Amino acid sequence: MSLSDQHAADLSPETVVVAAGRPDRAHDEPVNPPIVLSSTYFGTGSLSDGDRGYGRYANPTWDPFEDALAKLEGATLPGLLYASGLAAVSSALSLVPAGGVVVMPSHSYAGSLVMATELADKGFLELRTVDIADTDAVKALISPEQGKKADLLWLESPTNPMLGIADITALTEAAHAAGAIVVTDNTFSTPLVQQPLKLGSDVVLHSVTKYLAGHSDVVLGALVTSNPEIRATLLHHRIIHGGIAGPFEAWLALRGLRTLALRIERSQASAATLAERLSTHPRVEAIRYPGLSTDPGHERAKVQMKGFGSILCIQIAGDHNRSGADAADQLVRALQLWLPATSLGGVESLIERRRRHTAEPLSVPENLVRLSVGIENVEDLWSDLEQALKTLDS
């Protein structure tokens, strides 16, 4: 038999990432699930709920990953795998009724903000953005003294890229009191660092492309919930809108998930070391990392996170020769080990100046550089950063 929900609840997450989603234990059965390549399934008579029927409805290759992710997030229902993180975002936003109100962090992932903004511009919803770390301000937008209450609260914690920390428990309580659904993007933290369902969220979103798959070789998204009605709505949206995962990508994501605990352990430790060193560097104008005792979100992160993640952001100081943005660009160009590329959560360390993306909110500083710490030797990563920072003095 495969790993049961009860057995998974008795195991540490570091064990669940390895044990969940395995085939049933039977003589000569494989230890890894197979890849099923089929667009349709044999059947006669009427289709009923749960029948596979057609490749847009289901694929056996999705099931092991969806089961494993649900166990990691503490959900009582299987997760839902999507073609991309934004396909999952689209499905989650479909929970908003026509003309409904969405409250979203002003520094959310740019794709989520762009999608919500475009829907608002077309009149499908009302979008209210806010500093998600300002609990009172968020509550005021969820239940304003005048006007409509929110229908959906969108959380990111830490936020991308500013690493703001939301009080998830307090905000979900306020949202539920107003009758709103809460969706939390848990991409940065992963379920090994934070479990939003246990903090009150209704739906958890992941860009599987990032830490869960972990090797920068697939594009996938996922949603997890324990609410049967919400899951049915999300599943219907996936079927009708066709944002389904390829079976090979699903299989790769599950293979990547097996090493998640080791990758997170290594990258978090390295991120903490690098953050401490960068915090005192004269060329670093400002730094955000929840693990620093001086970070505004540190105390809150200590309560709701198990660790502080593997992402940090720095602002590079300019001088009389160049602006901060130009200095940040020069830093990125001077690196030899860190890879200048977007995305995050892979085994390799990635770095980029975020405002090179035209969709990035204007409130993100021009000189802000986001670092996704990988699993390389931390001293090699530091040496590369140090030599690149020194080029700014020449």
What's the rounded Cα separation, in Å, for the pair 29 and 1? Answer: 11
234-289 per-position pLDDT tens digit: 999 999 999 999 999 999 999 999 999 999 999 999 999 999 999 999 999 999 99
Q: Determine whether 185 is an active site residue.
A: yes
Burial of 321 per CB tally in 10 Å (0-12, 13-18, 19+): exposed
Bridge partners, 315 (sequence order): 286, 368
pLDDT under 70: residue ranges of the chain: 1-2, 6
Q: Determine whether 109 is an active site residue.
A: yes
What's the rounded Cα separation, in Å, for the pair 340 and 325? Answer: 15
Q: Determine whether 56 is an active site residue.
A: yes
Q: Which percentage of the chain shows pLDDT scores above 90?
A: 91
Q: What is the DSSP letter of 78?
A: -
Q: Domains of the chain, with CATH numbers? A: 5-257 (3.40.640.10), 261-393 (3.90.1150.10)
From 128, 210, 231, 370, the catalytic residue: 210
> Is the CA virtual torsion 312, 318, 324, 330 positive or negative?
negative
55-114 per-position pLDDT tens digit: 999 999 999 999 999 999 999 999 999 999 999 999 999 999 999 999 999 999 999 999
The pTM assigned to this predicted structure is: 0.96
From 22, 63, 82, 109, the catalytic residue: 109
- How much is the pLDDT for 394? 79
Q: DSSP 3-state assignment of 332?
A: helix
From 41, 52, 54, 56, the catalytic residue: 56
Residue 292 · residue 171 · CB < 8 Å: no
What count of other Cβ atoms lies within 10 Å of the Cβ of residue 269?
15
What's the rounded Cα separation, in Å, for the pair 232 and 236? Answer: 6
- How much is the pLDDT for 75? 97
From 63, 67, 151, 185, the catalytic residue: 185
